[in-house]
Amino acid sequence: MTTKYSEDRSDEVSRFSVSTNAEVTIQIADREGHQFIVIKEQHPAGTISTTEQTIEIPAALLPELKRAVAALEENFGDDDEPGERSQHPVSFAHESEAEFAHILDFYHITWQYEPRTFAVEWDEEGNVAGSFTPDFYLPEHNLYIELTTAKQQLVTKKNRKIRRVRELYPEVNVKVLYASDYRKLIEKFAASGSLQDDEVAE
């Protein structure tokens, strides 16, 4: 989306040049209670082009943007040999996610970490105001899995988003592993000797 943006309150993140006569700035801006990532390309006065282009990305889509950047890094890394895909370590948000990935690897289950973000709320102007990013996707089973080991207050909020995903995207399969389910899974896996005792989360 290209649009003219004029917002007094914004924080500049970076400024760089993409050519000899174009400058790009990346800012974080607030508007009506919502945050946006604003990417602006501007040509200085006196050059052939004096146009200014601006792209606004709702902050709610940041997980999807991070996923896209990670995919670009993986496929177009400078150190990659032709025809090879670089393997980047996954930065999990919580230790339980790393443990779950270990279990999936042990059973040779193909997984993707936070591969897709689903928009679940919009403001009056149609901008995304809320989103949900499941923790894992199992492509061989066409199944999204969300780990929920947080406090009940956070679980309730997450359950509300999951219900919205099921309403808005009925073709999407989402399974929730609650704290008790996850604990039983870890204990069973540890009992099999596949997971050391000190690896089990407290």
- Per domain, the residue ranges of the chain are 1-88, 92-195
Per DSSP (E only), the strands in the chain are 10-19, 22-31, 34-42, 52-58, 112-113, 118-122, 128-132, 136-138, 143-148, 174-178
* pLDDT at site 7: 46
pLDDT at 184: 86
Q: What is the pLDDT of residue 192?
A: 65
Strands of the sheet containing 174-178, edge to edge, are 112-113, 136-138, 143-148, 174-178
pLDDT of residue 51: 61
Residue of 175 and 45 predicted with greater confidence: 175
Would the pLDDT of 38 be above 60?
A: yes
- Predicted TM-score (pTM) of the model is 0.55
Comparing C-alpha atoms, which of 126, 2, 119, 106 is closest to residue 53? 2
Residue-wise pLDDT for 49-104, tens only, equals 556 678 878 877 777 777 777 666 666 554 444 333 334 478 898 888 999 999 99
Question: What does the alpha-carbon distance between residue 143 and residue 177 come to, in Å, rounded to a whole number?
Answer: 13
Q: Which of 31-35, 78-82, 98-102, 190-194 has the lowest mean pLDDT?
A: 78-82
- What is 92-195's CATH number, 1.20.950, 3.40.960, 1.20.120, 3.40.50? 3.40.960
Rg (C-alpha) for the chain, rounded Å, is 21
Cα 30–Cα 35–Cα 38 angle in degrees, nearest 5: 85
SS3 per-residue string spanning 191-202? HCCCCCHHHCCC
Question: Of 65, 20, 29, which Cα lies nearest the Cα of 40?
Answer: 29
Per CATH, the architecture of 1-88 is what?
Roll (3.10)
The pLDDT-based confidence of 47 (bands split at 50, 70, 90) is low
**Residues 99-150: pLDDT tens digits?**
999 999 988 999 999 999 999 999 888 888 899 999 999 999 999 999 987 6
pLDDT bracket for residue 8 (50, 70, 90): very low
